[in-house]
């Protein structure tokens, strides 16, 4: 059961993000800005698709290159499911909190307003925290070496993107963003 729930959480996370992008597009907001400021971002989707396949393959018994598990624990698997759904709830709260300012990537041409309430009142980067919770949870459900590497790589990629976004935010929002940084932590 934990395997199916972990796969469901990943699917729901994707649905939340894609539906928000589509909804904003219908209202004239181009929320998908992935790769506009850093062309190397286009290296990420193939790995993300491979990750998605690994989760689905493990959950439904499809062929996978990662057969051996690093440990076996039913308790840790259920803790992993809890992390997945905490990440899912945090993602939903973050997207709702973001409102019309939601962007995937840096939108230097039409940035939204600075959001400091809701989920952003507790973390400056709740979406990345949500993704990290999901990755950690899925590793606990499917504890193999590929997902361990994905967890580490994901944490590195999220942090790299956070630093890029912070640099942009400091330049665009100035003192307002600096004051926000003093009040709210980068992650948790």
Domains of the chain are 2-183 (1.20.120.1630)
- Per-residue pLDDT at 160: 92
pTM reported for the whole predicted model: 0.92
- Please give the structure tokens belonging to residue 153: 């790589």
- Written as six digits, the tokens of 155 are 């944490």
Identify the DSSP state of 113: P
pLDDT tens per residue, range 110-137: 777 899 999 999 999 999 999 999 999 9
Residue 48 has pLDDT above 70, yes or no: yes
In angstroms, rounded to a whole number, what is the distance separating the alpha carbons of residues 59 and 3?
Answer: 5
């Amino acid at each position: 059961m934990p395997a199916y729930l972990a796969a469901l959480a990943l699917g729901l996370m994707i649905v939340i993000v894609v539906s928000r992008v589509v909804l904003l597009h219908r209202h004239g907001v181009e929320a998908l800005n992935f790769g506009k400021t850093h062309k190397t971002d286009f290296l990420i989707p193939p790995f993300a698709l491979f990750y998605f396949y690994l989760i689905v393959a493990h959950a439904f018994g499809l062929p996978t290159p990662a057969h051996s598990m690093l440990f076996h624990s039913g308790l840790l698997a259920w803790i992993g499911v809890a992390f997945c759904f905490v990440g899912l709830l945090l993602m939903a709260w973050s997207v709702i909190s973001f409102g019309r300012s939601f962007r995937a990537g840096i939108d230097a041409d039409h940035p939204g307003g600075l959001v400091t309430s809701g989920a952003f009142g507790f973390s400056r980067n709740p979406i990345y925290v949500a993704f990290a919770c999901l990755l950690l949870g899925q590793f606990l459900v499917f504890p193999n070496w590929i997902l361990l590497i994905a967890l580490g790589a994901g944490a590195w990629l999220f942090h790299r993107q956070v630093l890029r976004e912070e640099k942009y935010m400091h330049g665009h929002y100035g003192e307002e963003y600096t004051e926000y940084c003093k009040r709210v932590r980068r992650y948790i």
